[in-house]
Amino acid sequence: MIEYIWKRLLQSVVTLFIIVTAVFLLLRLLPEEGYLGAAADKMTPEQQEIYLTNLGLRDPILVQLGNFYIDLLRGDFGKSITYRTDVPVMDIISDKIMYSLTFGVAAVIVSILIGVPLGILMAQFKGRWLDRLGTGYIVFIVAVPSMVYFLLIQVYITDFFNLPMLFDEDRPITWVLPLISLSLGPIASYAMWMRRYMVDELNKDYIKLARAKGVKERTIMFRHVLRNAFIPLSQYLPATILLTITGSIYIESLYSIPGMGGLLVDAIQRQDNPLVQALVLIFSSLGIIGLFLGDVLMALVDPRIKFGKGESVR
């Protein structure tokens, strides 16, 4: 077990290293113009040159990379260039992460609380109206562009209930709509997966034996199927939770939620390299940790899995 964790950890570090390096190099392919922004027009070429040199962009690429890693090892993620000049990247991120975390976790909880039971019920009443209704919902969510219904929800529901349109952390009521919007998608996907795993599980032999034992259908559902169906889900759960933290770019922009969603987009578009690099590091780590936790969680719920026995790639 310990050995396994070490190995996994080492692997993850290598993966992270590759990812961060790749993104680092990709960022250097961006046009230099981006670093100057609107100011470029009024700067003389010499001034621009000084500016770019000060940013370190004139060093040989390997030197830049080396400096980057040295700083990183010192725990210095650098300072933002074009997003919030001279503000340490970590300060920017830490300002936002709480919002995203709160919304993300809340949305995951809401969507699990609604999506999972929905999926269970759909599986139990497979082919009947509830199942159809649920499927209709899922198809709707998949099919209709979310930016259309998010905006409709925001405008009409706030209008109908006379709520403020924008998010205001001090007013609990303004948390509700973004949360609902944020959960609509995950609810659909949880319901869909849960239903599928339940149906798969229901077709297994041990269910037949349980029935033959005289166990009630409902008991079968909850005591046998549910937990087993949760296993494939459990593997993805931490990853989904962690990734929900990144938030929905669109919802955050609509409701003025100062979360991480738009940060990444903004950071890349503004070519704020240190910020992008830190974000990539964070997101990738989250992904990798998520995967790892998923495996651990799975091993916890599934007695069949022992660590170290064959490296499973999900």
250-272 burial by CB neighbour count: b if 16+ within 10 A, else e?
bbbebbebebbbbbbeebbebbb
Q: Smallest distance, Å, CB 205 to another protein?
A: 4
Q: Are 245 and 104 in contact (CB under 8 A)?
A: yes
Among 182, 222, 181, 178, CA closest to 198: 222
**Nearest distance from residue 138's CB to another protein, in Å?**
9
Among 59, 161, 256, 300, contact with another protein (rule: CB under 8 A)? 256
C-alpha span between 88 and 80 (Å, rounded): 6
Q: Which is nearer to another protein, 110 or 240 (CB)?
A: 240
Q: Answer yes or no whether residue 166 interacts with another protein by CB under 8 A.
A: yes
- For the segment 27-46, give every residue that binds another protein (CB under 8 A): 27, 29-34, 36-44, 46
Which residues within the stretch 181-220 sit at the binding site for another protein (CB under 8 A)? Answer: 204-206, 208-217
Contacts of 193 (CB under 8 A, 6+ apart): 119, 232, 233
Contact 82, 55 (CB under 8 A): no
Q: How far is the CB of 117 from another protein (least distance, A)?
A: 20
Nearest CB to another protein, comparing residues 74 and 309: 309
- For another protein, the binding residue among 139, 173, 176, 300 (CB under 8 A) is 139
**Coil, helix or strand at residue 289:** helix
Using CB under 8 A, which of 2, 62, 73, 143 touches another protein? Answer: 143
Interacting residue with another protein among 10, 152, 176, 300 (CB under 8 A): 152
